[in-house]
Amino acid sequence: MTDILGLIAVTCAGVFLLGYCNKPPSLTKSAVKTASVLLLAVISWRAAGPLALTAALAFGALGDLSLSRAGARAFLWGLVSFAVTHLLYAWLMVSVGQGGMWLASMGVFGFGALMAWILWHKTAELRWPVMGYIVIIVVMGIAALGTMQPVIIIAALAFIASDTLIAVEKFLLAPQSRALKVTPFAVWVLYWTAQALFLYGFLAV
């Protein structure tokens, strides 16, 4: 059953990438996007994975549902959902952490500080939620480095890269930018790969 669920999740992710990634909001788009990660949460639950892992994936699916809809309120709900996802992942990482990689951790901190500086004057009424989110993803990134687990570290860096591209899309690129024809695909590949790697990495620990 787990193999079947995994295949369906991969199929949903592929369908979203090829058919809906750069399309306007629709119920079908929301359903396909949400299912691709919600099924990962079901796999975690069926495999008796850590409760925090199942919850992190479930909140990720909720965030996907929110970000698949239009409007600032939907974006804010997505931000909150993914903030919870990152905090749950950070908690899991700390529970299996071994310490170390402090130089790389300073790099993650510096990247977060740079993003905060760039976005400070670009985020308007979303400034403080975005700043809080940056703090959370930095904490998650540093916690990932502390696990010394390559799969978890790669997953965390892919998630951070995905979040960074979303911020660039929403706050830095002009609506007519040609980059917007490419960034949704990069965001999805990085994000879904990160979630799948987190599932694999934490089930294997």
Four-CA torsion 119, 125, 129, 134, nearest 10 degrees: 0
Query: For 181-187, which contacts have Cβ atoms below 8 Å and span 24 or more sequence positions?
Result: 181/22, 184/21, 184/22, 185/17, 185/21, 185/22, 186/162, 187/162
Structure confidence at residue 124 (pLDDT): 86
**Residue range of the domain that includes 106:** 2-204
Does pLDDT of 186 surpass 90? yes
Does pLDDT of 22 surpass 90? no
Average of pLDDT values for 10-30? Answer: 94
Q: Apex CA 154: angle with CA 153 and CA 157, to 5°? A: 85
Structure confidence at residue 20 (pLDDT): 94
Banded model confidence at residue 164, pLDDT cuts 50, 70, 90: very high
Average of pLDDT values for 141-164? Answer: 95
- Asked if 194 and 57 touch (Cβ cutoff 8 Å), the reply is no
pLDDT per residue as tens digits for the range 75-123: 889 999 999 999 999 999 998 877 767 778 889 999 999 999 999 999 8
What's the pTM value of the predicted model, to 2 decimals?
0.93
Tokens 């790389």 belong to which residue? 104
Judged by DSSP in three states, 176 sits in coil
Percent of the chain surpassing pLDDT 90:
81
Structure confidence at residue 120 (pLDDT): 94
> Helices (H) and strands (E) in the chain — how many of each?
8, 0
Does pLDDT of 200 surpass 80? yes
Tokens 């965390």 belong to which residue? 156
Structure confidence at residue 100 (pLDDT): 66
- Mean pLDDT estimate for the chain: 93
Domains in the chain, number: 1
Instruction: Look up residue 203 and give its DSSP letter.
Output: H
Nearest in space to 86 (alpha carbons), one of 132, 39, 33: 132
pLDDT per residue as tens digits for the range 29-84: 999 999 999 999 999 999 999 999 999 999 999 999 999 998 888 988 999 999 99
Does pLDDT of 160 surpass 70? yes
Q: How far apart are the two ends of the chain, measured CA to CA in Å?
A: 22
Does pLDDT of 189 surpass 70? yes
Structure confidence at residue 105 (pLDDT): 86
